[in-house]
Amino acid sequence: MEERNAIEVRELTKRYGGVTALDRVSFEVGCGEIFGLIGPDGAGKTSLFRILTTLLAPDGGSASVNGLDSVADYRQIRRQVGYMPGRFSLYADLSVEENLSFFAALFGTGIRENYDLVAPIYSQIEPFRKRRAGKLSGGMKQKLALCCALIHRPSVLFLDEPTTGVDALSRGEFWDMLDGLRRCGISILVSTPYMDEAGRCDRIALINEGRILGIDTPQGLVDGFDEGVYELSGDDMSGLLARVRAERGISGCYPFGAVHHVVAAEGFDAVAFVARIAAEGFSGVSMQCIGAGIEDVFIKKMGR
Amino acid sequence: MKILLVLLDKEIRQFWRNRFLPVMTIVFPILVMLIFPWITTMEVRNVGVVVVDGDRSSASRRLVSKIGASDNFSLLGTAPDFNSALAALEAGEADIIVEIPDGFGEIRAEEHRNVSISANGVNAVKGALGTQYMLQTVMRTQAELLGEKMPFSPADDIAVLNLYNPTLEYRFYMIPALMIILMIMLGGFLPALNLVIEKEKGTIEQINVSPVGRLPFTLAKLIPFWIIVLAVLSVAMLIARFVYGLTIAGSAGAIYSASVLFVLAMSGLGVTVANHSSTMQQTMFEMFFFVVIFVLMSGLITPVESMPEWAQWITRLLPPRYFVDIMRAVYLKGTTVAELWREYLALGGFALLFDTLAVVAYKKQA
């Protein structure tokens, strides 16, 4: 028997009045895969999640989870998926333990029956099980929310920006937890605005303004980048930006943290270029070839 | 069923954990019942009176002392002429000017000297009732004077007997109304706010993605408040009994059965409103809209019978109208459920309608 995809999205469209939030989006997520949706705020990620979790009806196209249609079979989908909304949405006035057992009870189960699944995560917050959820730190809230989304043993997990507003260390831990869940056979659709988290996914879709810009493994996307990327820095950063953009043969230059990224076709002579602009009066200029990152891919695809 | 218990358990825990709600549901009704019966009175007391005594006889002094002795009036003093009395009225110090004409004491049937009463009509109730009281006082004084001059009293007093509320105690009329206002506020607002808070905080999302049906979910939002409102009603009835001495002329069962139907209707309305709004502000505003209509149009304060015909038609669509009739009739007259079956039926209809709407209006999917 052919293995079924956990999630299949075909030509999915959603409009709010005149705004198109999702424009003929298609992708599929295999069983046991961590699939990342990478895109800025307002890209349509949350609309996509709400359709897949049966909270929102699409205007066109179809979405299915475990082979069940998001509109026709919504009841069955609700039993099989776990959803962690982008906003903390547990009961702040209930304790950690009460929240978890409440969400277990909603699905007709209990903490004990599913303890093995959540144990690696829950054990970290268990010392605080009597504490009200509202009084937890950001990282602990997020762990509790993940536990609550998992407590009924879903086969597909939807995580809408789970790491937004969480410190870098907790974010790393969180992704480690997702790796553990994948080993348990759970398929995960996760969205994030952080490009650096893309590398933790099996495959990613770049999404912007309701359109998918590309779908591949993180490495595949980077390998598909057919131009050279250079890191440029100097004393007069804003002057450099203007100067490089005026140069012929350079397809893009944009600020990237403390440096600029310069995208140029194969055969671009960086050494000669640095010498040339140093002669024009730019001091402290350094330029070296680096590999393209997901963000470079994103910016390039977005510009197209 | 098991799901409903899980949800109810959660609601009750949250209710007691709230810093504000348990206190409010206890303190608010007690305050209302202890304070408002003294305030919401239609009896007019301390109407400011200025007398212009043009007679200066023993007869006119008798009238002035009667005015001074009455609880209804507070005699501010006498003025030398009408214009200076009018100045006091314009300054807002006096509400009524009584002008006693020269020759007030010498009552002869053929030439009647009129006492003139001028009242400030800005506060219509005070003006009208004050004038009424003053008329009675003047007429009684005149009757006394006449009786002293002619040994045979010309007319007997008209006998007035107020049934069901013998002393015409306005408080007894208002106490059932205050209970109803409490039940509208608590029964309507609390479930509405509870639901919309789940929407605002986003916690409802997690419930929506679960297999929980809308019937148990809605019931869990309603049932705690049915219990709370009936408990509050019991406290209010105890206060009515032991603070104001108002006992139920009819049966407590008739009160409770009507109250159950009423709170079912109010909470259903509250949850329906919350289902249609996305923010607390929206819910509050919509609820206030209904509450204002309920309070002003259901006969709680002003009798439905004195409203224009079209307004009376509207009142038929308001659940509190029927509840007001039941509460006053059972409380003051001792009317039975059998006699009020139409009102009970109407309340039951509203309860069914609003609770069905509450369940149907809850949509897990947008």
Instruction: Tell me whether residue B243 is in a domain.
Output: yes
On whether both B142 and B246 belong to a single domain, the answer is no
Instruction: Tell me whether residue B189 is in a domain.
Output: yes
Which residues of B fall within a CB distance of 8 Å from A91?
10, 14, 203
Torsion of CA A8, A9, A11, A13, to 10 degrees: 160
How many angstroms separate the CA of residue A98 from the nearest CA in chain B? 9
Q: What is the mean pLDDT of residues B42-48?
A: 79
Residues in chain B: 366
Which residue type occupies A287? M
Q: Which of B97, B121, B149 is the last residue of a domain?
A: B149
- Smallest Cβ–Cβ distance between A75 and the set B206, B208, B211 belongs to B211
Find the distance separating the first CA and the last CA of chain A, reported in whole Å: 40
Q: How far apart are CA A106 and CA A96, in angstroms?
A: 16
Which residue type occupies B190? L
Asked if the Cβ–Cβ distance from B203 to A91 is below 8 Å, we say yes
Q: Which residues contact A267 (CB under 8 A, 6 or more apart)?
A: none
- Angle (nearest 5°) at CA B149 between B147 and B155: 30
Instruction: Find the range with the poorest average confidence among B74-88, B152-166, B291-305, B336-350.
Output: B152-166
CB-CB contact of B49 with B98 (8 Å): yes
On whether both B171 and B95 belong to a single domain, the answer is no
Q: Which of B89, B115, B149 is the last residue of a domain?
A: B149
On whether both B243 and B306 belong to a single domain, the answer is yes
Domain holding B128, by residue range, is 47-149
Number of separate domains in chain B: 2
Q: Which of B116, B149, B182 is the last residue of a domain?
A: B149
Confidence of residue B159 (pLDDT cuts 50, 70, 90): low
CB-CB contact of B291 with B188 (8 Å): yes
On whether both B115 and B226 belong to a single domain, the answer is no
**Strands A286-290 and A228-233, sheet pairing:** antiparallel
A88 touches B at CB < 8 Å = yes
B12 touches A at CB < 8 Å = no
* C-beta atoms surrounding A293 within 10 Å: 20
pLDDT of residue B113: 66
Instruction: Tell me whether residue B268 is in a domain.
Output: yes
On whether both B34 and B51 belong to a single domain, the answer is no
A131 touches B at CB < 8 Å = no
Query: What structural domains and CATH numbers belong to chain A?
Result: 7-221 (3.40.50.300), 225-303 (3.30.70.2070)
pLDDT of B57 over the 90 cut = no
CB-CB contact of A244 with A229 (8 Å): no
Instruction: Tell me whether residue B157 is in a domain.
Output: no
pLDDT of B101 over the 80 cut = yes
On whether both B229 and B193 belong to a single domain, the answer is yes
Asked if the Cβ–Cβ distance from B206 to A107 is below 8 Å, we say no
pLDDT of A302 over the 80 cut = yes
**3-state DSSP percent of chain B in helix, strand and coil, to 5:** 65, 5, 30
Q: What is the pLDDT of residues A157-184, one digit of tens each?
A: 999 999 888 888 888 889 999 999 999 8
On whether both B298 and B214 belong to a single domain, the answer is yes
pLDDT of residue A251: 84
Q: What is the pLDDT of residues B168-202, one digit of tens each?
A: 677 888 899 999 999 999 999 999 999 999 999 98
Bigger pLDDT: B72 or B227? B227
Bigger pLDDT: B322 or B140? B322
Which residues of A fall within a CB distance of 8 Å from B213?
none
CATH number of B57's domain: 3.40.1710.10
On whether both B55 and B100 belong to a single domain, the answer is yes
CB-CB contact of B366 with A55 (8 Å): yes
On whether both B58 and B119 belong to a single domain, the answer is yes
pTM of the model: 0.82
Q: Rg of chain B over CA atoms, in angstroms? A: 28
B17 touches A at CB < 8 Å = yes
On whether both B183 and B288 belong to a single domain, the answer is yes
Instruction: Tell me whether residue B154 is in a domain.
Output: no
- Smallest Cβ–Cβ distance between A89 and the set B201, B210, B366 belongs to B201
Nearest CA in chain A to B197: A91
Asked if the Cβ–Cβ distance from A78 to B207 is below 8 Å, we say no
A55 touches B at CB < 8 Å = yes
How many angstroms separate the CA of residue A23 from the nearest CA in chain B? 19
pLDDT of residue B109: 53
Nearest CA in chain B to A148: B206
* C-beta atoms surrounding B40 within 10 Å: 17
**Mean of per-residue pLDDT scores for chain A:** 90
Confidence of residue A1 (pLDDT cuts 50, 70, 90): very low
pLDDT of residue A226: 84
Instruction: Tell me whether residue B182 is in a domain.
Output: yes
On whether both B27 and B63 belong to a single domain, the answer is no
Instruction: Tell me whether residue B161 is in a domain.
Output: no
Asked if the Cβ–Cβ distance from A89 to B206 is below 8 Å, we say yes
On whether both B14 and B69 belong to a single domain, the answer is no
